[in-house]
Structure 1
Amino acid sequence: MKSVLVVDDKPEIRRRVAEALIKYGFTDILEAENGQQAIDMAQAHKPLLILMDYVMPVMDGITAAEKISKKCPTPIVLLTTRADHETIEKARLAGISNYVVEPFREDQLFPAVDLAIHHFIEVTSLRQEVAKLKDTLESRKIIEKAKGALIQQGMSEQDAYRKIQRMAMNKRKTLKEVAEAILLTLE
């Protein structure tokens, strides 16, 4: 099910955006009329995409987008009458993937939605890869430190690494977990 959250304080804009998104293939259209409702609905329903107006009562779209991006990352397209550098920069820093200047045409909405979704997927993938590489690097540092501690006790580098490997296999632990245990016992 392809769900989308449309956020605007004007019902006619929400309806117009919803109609366009149905043509785009979205099957579940959720609606909110202010930024706080958008945050609540994004957390409750986890939509595939959010289209949100900038100027709204209770909380503006950029502030809401920033809060949504921190709690439940989702591609967000901002609907705005403003296209100045300051607004675009605030939107970018808030985690907004794309924007459409109002009044918009339906044919402007589709590329913005498509780019926002694909950009979000790419960025999410890169963030996961970076996190994995950081973890690998951190593990490698701990293993090297433990290996160094074993070398100081008279083992060769090769024997120290084999010992860590054997202990990991025997205890069904990761190399990092064994290395951490070795470092704790040698403190």
Structure 2
Amino acid sequence: MTDKLRILVAEDETLIRLGLRAMLTAMGHEVLLAADGRDALHLVRTARPDLALLDIRMPLTDGLEAARVIARKHPMPILILTAYSDRELIDKAADLPIQGYLIKPVDERDLAAAIRVAVKRFGEAQAAARQVAELQETLETRKLVERARGRLMQGGLSEDEAYHALQRRAREGRLSMRQVAEAVLAETDKR
């Protein structure tokens, strides 16, 4: 069982919307209801749901556009729920950062499984994105340190002496190697 979530259900058909609310409430989730895409986007901004379950064809803003906006501005797991299984809609949905595409009618067991997988996959994707950002930061820092070491070597220090000088300055100033490298590069650029 997935922990209790706050789930946004955006569905323009009242009976389906209420049926989804009943299923999700029975699973222990809190449910926010929207009858169109514009209301869904408003609830995303104001109520901060944990997951969005969006119908594709809704008035004002369709589910695909709502998913695009949500993914960009308020990232969360997104499931598309629709009566349409035509290839064009599936291809459009596949181009979005969504975690699932469900065909109506959906039963409670399938919905619970889709929610569990969506939450897990979204968490994994977020962790991977953080790891990529950290690796990019590490690589950029290494490049800066190498450039700073090169500048110090141009001043007559050996490779080891230049690196140890950067380390000593970082330790004594309680600075990161990146901060020291940036300072060395700025100082040598002024010369």
Counterparts of 1:10-89 in structure 2, within 5 Å, are 10-26=13-29, 28-89=30-91
Residue 80 of structure 1: how far off its partner (Å): 0.8
The Cα offsets for residues 105-125 of structure 1, whole Å up to 9 and x where unpaired, read as 222211211111111111111
Residue 41 of structure 1: how far off its partner (Å): 1.0
The Cα offsets for residues 87-118 of structure 1, whole Å up to 9 and x where unpaired, read as 12211222211011012222221121111111
Secondary structure of the residue aligned to 1:55 is coil
Residue in 2 that maps onto 1:122: 124
Please say if residues 143 and 175 of structure 1, whose CA atoms lie closer than 8 Å, have aligned partners that are also in contact. yes
Secondary structure of the residue aligned to 1:104 is coil
CA RMSD, Structure 1 to Structure 2 (Å): 1.3
Q: Which amino acid aligns with 1:2?
A: L
Q: Which amino acid aligns with 2:62?
A: D
Q: Which amino acid aligns with 1:63?
A: E
Counterparts of 1:128-139 in structure 2, within 5 Å, are 128-139=130-141
Secondary structure of the residue aligned to 2:106 is coil
2:6 maps to 1:6: no
Please say if residues 63 and 94 of structure 1, whose CA atoms lie closer than 8 Å, have aligned partners that are also in contact. no
The Cα offsets for residues 20-62 of structure 1, whole Å up to 9 and x where unpaired, read as 1123221x21111111111121122221111111000001000
Residue 17 of structure 1: how far off its partner (Å): 0.9
Please say if residues 77 and 100 of structure 1, whose CA atoms lie closer than 8 Å, have aligned partners that are also in contact. yes
Q: Which amino acid aligns with 1:95?
A: P
Identity %: 37
Query: Normalized against structure 1, the TM-score is what?
Result: 0.94
Provide the aligned length of Structure 1 versus Structure 2: 186
Residue 70 of structure 1: how far off its partner (Å): 0.3
Counterparts of 1:128-167 in structure 2, within 5 Å, are 128-167=130-169
Runs (5+) with no aligned partner, structure 1: none
Runs (5+) with no aligned partner, structure 2: none
| Distance in 2 between residues matched to 1:76 and 1:13, nearest whole Å | 18
| Distance in 1 between residues matched to 2:115 and 2:17, nearest whole Å | 15
Q: Which amino acid aligns with 1:177?
A: Q
| Distance in 1 between residues matched to 2:164 and 2:28, nearest whole Å | 55
Residue in 1 that maps onto 2:105: 103
Query: Normalized against structure 2, the TM-score is what?
Result: 0.92
Residue 162 of structure 1: how far off its partner (Å): 1.2
Residue 130 of structure 1: how far off its partner (Å): 0.5
| Distance in 1 between residues matched to 2:129 and 2:13, nearest whole Å | 36
Secondary structure of the residue aligned to 1:57 is coil
